[in-house]
Amino acid sequence: MKLHAQKYGEGPALLILHGLFGSGDNWASLAKRYGEHFQVHCIDQRNHGRSPHHPKHSYPAMAEDLMEYLDDHALGKVRIVGHSMGGKTAMFFAADYPQKVERLLVADIGPWSYPVHHGSIIQAMKALHLGEYKRRSEVEDAFAQSGLDAATRMFLLKSIYRKNGAFAWRFNLEGLAQEIEEVGRALPESAGFDGPCLFLKGGLSAYVPQNRWPEVLNNFPNAELDTIDQAGHWLHAEAPNPFFERSMHFFQSADLR
């Protein structure tokens, strides 16, 4: 699959993989900062953003998509930042193509399976009949009645655009709803990557509990764990400066060897 991406800067390649219902655009501010040091590729994963829609949404497929992207752009070894679903994609990719990964940063996700917990979000989006609205303010007012918190609504509304004169979701809502169990899929126990890894978690998030850290080391024996104390699951958006500083320290240390 030919993935869409926005590029920033020049230098060694740094790939950014967004989370579920997001897109590379969510990372534009940080990508511009990274672009002062790297050639940044903000990638839209399949069924998201401006990349193609497909009924299959699995991590092995997304890892293959990423390898095709590297081939198409003649990229050698790359650094990768992956958040949530993007972090899981990055783990599968590093396990399948270790020769292509210089360093791996996984943001607030572990290699284990996660139960489906997006049901209320999917129901709220399906109940929002976007084609009925003429103005974006009408969409926002209707979505405010969904029961979702304001931060979640604002995040999701970033993926609304006009298609043939009507509002639509940029992501493949129906396809993702059908494949939502795949989003929580675990990395196989036998898979892994022994290169440098940083697992960066939000101190207010429960996605990567301390007592499960040995499971990370089973798959990623050279992994380190760091925490941004006052951030939750969307740590790159909630604490962009600490996220940037810690990720830059990790990625630039590869150039000091």
CATH code for the domain in which residue 200 is found: 3.40.50.1820
Res 19 pLDDT > 80:
yes
**Which has the closest alpha carbon to 110: 93, 94, 87?**
87
Among all residues, which ones are annotated catalytic?
84, 174, 233
Q: Are residues 151 and 208 in the same domain?
A: no
Predicted local distance difference test score (pLDDT) of residue 254: 57
- Each residue's pLDDT tens digit, 31-82: 999 999 999 999 999 999 999 999 999 999 999 999 999 999 999 999 999 9
Residue 123 shares a structural domain with residue 248: no
Average pLDDT value for residue range 5-34: 98
Burial class, 52, CB count within 10 angstroms (exposed 0-12 / middle 13-18 / buried 19+):
middle
Instruction: Kindly state whether residues 164 and 236 are assigned to the same domain.
Output: no
For residue 9, the tally of other CB atoms under 10 A from its CB is 15
Residues 173 and 200 in one domain: no
Separation between Cα atoms, residue 171 and residue 190, nearest integer Å: 32
Same domain, 136 and 241: no
Give one DSSP letter per residue of 44-81, joined into a string: PPTTSTTSPP-S---HHHHHHHHHHHHHHTT--SEEEE
Identify the pLDDT of residue 257.
40
Q: Number of helices and strands (H, E) in the chain?
A: 11, 9
Q: Are residues 106 and 208 in the same domain?
A: yes
> For the segment 225-254, what is each residue's pLDDT rounded down to a tens digit?
999 999 999 999 999 999 999 999 999 875
The end-to-end CA distance of the chain, in Å, is 35
**Radius of gyration for the chain, computed over Cα atoms and rounded to the nearest angstrom:** 18
Indicate whether this model's pTM tops 0.85. yes
Same domain as 172, residue 79: no
Looking at the 3D structure of the chain, how many domains does it have? 2
Q: Is the pLDDT of residue 255 over 60?
A: no
Domain end point (choices 178, 209, 225): 178
For residue 160, pLDDT beyond 50: yes
- Residues 157-162 have a mean pLDDT of 95
Q: Do 123 and 110 share a structural domain?
A: no
Same structural domain for residues 96 and 133? no
pLDDT (tens digit, 9 = 90+) per residue, 104-124? 999 999 999 999 999 999 999
Residues 6+ apart with CB under 8 A from 228: 200, 201, 202, 203, 235, 239, 242, 243, 246
Q: Are residues 136 and 110 in the same domain?
A: no
**CA distances (Å), 64 to each of 78, 96, 109, 119, 205, in order?**
15, 9, 20, 27, 30
Residues 87 and 132 in one domain: no
- pLDDT score at 253: 78
Residue 103, classified by CB atoms within 10 Å of its CB into exposed (0-12), middle (13-18) or buried (19+), is buried
Please give the residue range of the domain that contains residue 131. 119-178
Query: Residue range 185-189: average pLDDT?
Result: 97
Backbone dihedral region for residue 53 (phi beyond 0: left; psi -120 to 50: alpha; all else: beta):
beta
| Domain final residue, candidates 131, 147, 178 | 178
Share above pLDDT 90 across residues of the chain, in percent, rounded to a whole number: 95
Of 153, 178, 203, which residue is a domain's last? 178
pLDDT score for 156: 96
Q: What percent of the chain is modeled with pLDDT above 70?
A: 98
147 in the same domain as 44:
no
Confidence of residue 192 (pLDDT cuts 50, 70, 90): very high
